[in-house]
């Protein structure tokens, strides 16, 4: 076992400095205007070893900023929509996604923590007030963004092999190297990753007692496999009582609009969800079982035709697994 001195102190590690954010602008006047809202909400609330203002894993606003990025990755969009004469990114666009039949993103939380507001545009929750600064910050944090200076350069997440940024993917890879506080911080972010992933990618039930959680599509098998490996490690670390059977997740490929895509999905049964959620109150799935008592008089011939939808006492004569 590693000595305590050799453990990585995750909380103090810088992710991005204020100067790195400012340097993403072409002109200082625009940079100062763009960083103003981030300073108002104390986004850069730590300092690195050289005394520069920065964001660390322990920064108070990083959880909210990370959630923003996760929603753009798993259900929304992030893109560069304009470039200056030098070819440097100048305008940004981001949305949380449409969220049809999904758990809505916590927009009030984003507004409270970051002063960020949203507009409904074609069903999407588009970054509005202060949105340009935060979309640029997500891009600098390495959340995958499309580049759209013209039609030729437009691409999808599947085409560009969009993966989560290194500051998040290292949390599973280096977990055993972190100090105890670092492991607690890592689990906080890992659980947020799973919460957004499940809420954005859960599909309709494939059977009465089974749900499917789709994986993002990729044009390259290696990209799909890397995301599968990371998400599986997240589940194992955050919810060790959850056990996946062989062949879960199920991986496959197929033609979509004439292009080969690599896809897949996790499946979870109601029994799995129920067992894990009992041990972990924040597990991002729930299984509610409604009792169906069986009484002897129900089997009498004259009552058989009433059994499908009858109500007996306080019990509904129907069994449902509700996710």
Task: Give every CB contact of residue 206 below 8 A, 6+ residues apart in sequence.
Answer: 212, 267
**What single-letter DSSP state applies at residue 164?**
-
Q: Of 148, 24, 23, which is closest to residue 77 (Cα–Cα)?
A: 148
- Contact at 8 Å (CB) between 47 and 14? no
pLDDT, tens digit, 9 for 90 and up, residues 113-163:
999 999 988 778 899 988 999 999 999 999 998 876 544 545 788 888 899
* Greatest distance between any 2 Cα atoms in the chain: 84
pLDDT, tens digit, 9 for 90 and up, residues 213-270:
999 999 999 999 999 999 999 999 999 999 998 889 999 999 988 889 999 999 998 8
Q: What is the pTM of this model?
A: 0.84
Would you give the distance in Å from CA 94 to the centre of its chain?
15
- What order do you get walking across the sheet with 210-214 strand by strand? 210-214, 259-269, 250-256
Domain boundaries, the chain: 4-162, 202-289
Q: Of 171, 267, 156, 159, which is closest to residue 223 (Cα–Cα)?
A: 159
């Amino acid at each position: 076992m590693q000595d305590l001195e050799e453990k990585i102190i995750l909380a103090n590690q810088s992710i991005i400095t204020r100067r790195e954010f400012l340097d993403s602008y072409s002109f200082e006047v625009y940079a100062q205007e763009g960083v103003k809202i981030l300073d108002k909400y104390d986004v850069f609330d730590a300092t690195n070893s050289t005394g520069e203002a920065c964001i660390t894993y322990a920064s108070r606003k990083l959880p909210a900023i990370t959630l923003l990025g996760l929603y753009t990755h798993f259900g929304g969009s992030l893109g560069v929509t304009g470039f200056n004469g030098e070819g440097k990114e100048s305008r940004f666009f981001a949305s949380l996604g449409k969220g049809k039949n999904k758990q809505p993103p916590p927009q009030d939380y984003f507004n409270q923590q970051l002063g960020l507001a949203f507009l409904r545009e074609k069903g999407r929750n588009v970054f509005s007030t202060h949105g340009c600064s935060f979309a640029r910050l997500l891009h600098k944090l390495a959340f995958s963004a499309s580049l759209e200076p013209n039609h030729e350069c437009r691409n999808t997440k599947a085409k560009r092999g969009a993966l989560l940024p290194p500051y998040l993917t290292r949390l599973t890879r280096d977990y055993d190297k972190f100090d105890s506080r670092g492991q607690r911080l890592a689990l906080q972010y890992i659980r947020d990753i799973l919460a957004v992933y499940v809420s954005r990618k859960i599909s309709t039930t494939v059977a009465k007692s089974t749900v499917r959680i789709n994986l993002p599509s990729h044009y390259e098998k290696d990209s799909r496999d890397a995301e599968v490996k990371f998400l599986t490690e997240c589940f194992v670390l955050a919810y060790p009582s959850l056990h996946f059977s062989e062949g879960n997740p199920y991986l496959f490929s197929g033609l979509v609009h004439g292009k080969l895509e690599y896809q897949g999905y996790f499946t979870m049964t109601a029994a799995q969800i129920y067992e894990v959620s009992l041990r972990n109150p924040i597990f991002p799935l729930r299984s509610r079982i409604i009792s169906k008592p069986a009484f002897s008089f129900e089997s009498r011939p004259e009552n058989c035709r009433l059994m499908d939808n009858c109500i007996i006492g306080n019990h509904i004569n129907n069994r449902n697994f509700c996710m």
